[in-house]
């Protein structure tokens, strides 16, 4: 369902540019099962999809309910001792360097 946007329809966090082409001002609002799309007249008439979801219901860029339902295999490992990173880098100098007077330590 596509509606014409009126000034009171937009929230302070809504974008002022079309979510499909990102060049024209918002003139139409398309209501979908996932929320609403703010589009210009040309993109609404052509049925263009939004290119990115800026403010999903959770308020985090790119995070949607669909992505929350997909657990990552590497995120939830079996409990145990912490592991070192794959490349910890060079060892720290011993003894530690002394600061030079007149210059902050780097």
**What pLDDT is recorded for position 100?**
72
**What pLDDT is recorded for position 79?**
64
Which residue carries 């403010």 as its tokens?
A: 55
Q: pTM of the full predicted structure?
A: 0.48
Which residue did the predictor score with more confidence, 37 or 77? 37
Residues 6+ apart with CB under 8 A from 88: none
Model confidence over 4-27: pLDDT tens digits? 887 778 888 788 888 888 899 999
Q: What is the DSSP string of 6-44?
A: -GGG--TTS-SB-TTTSSSBP-EEEEETTEEEEE-HHHH
């Amino acid at each position: 369902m596509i509606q014409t946007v009126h000034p009171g329809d937009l929230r302070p966090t809504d974008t002022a540019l079309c979510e499909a082409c990102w060049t024209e001002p918002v003139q139409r609002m398309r209501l979908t099962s996932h929320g609403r799309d703010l589009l210009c007249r040309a993109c609404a008439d052509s049925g263009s999809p939004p290119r990115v979801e800026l403010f999903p219901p959770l308020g985090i860029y790119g995070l949607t309910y669909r992505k929350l339902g997909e657990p990552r295999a590497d995120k939830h490992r079996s409990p145990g001792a912490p592991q070192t990173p794959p490349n910890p880098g060079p060892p720290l100098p011993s003894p530690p360097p002394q600061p030079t007077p007149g210059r902050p330590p780097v």
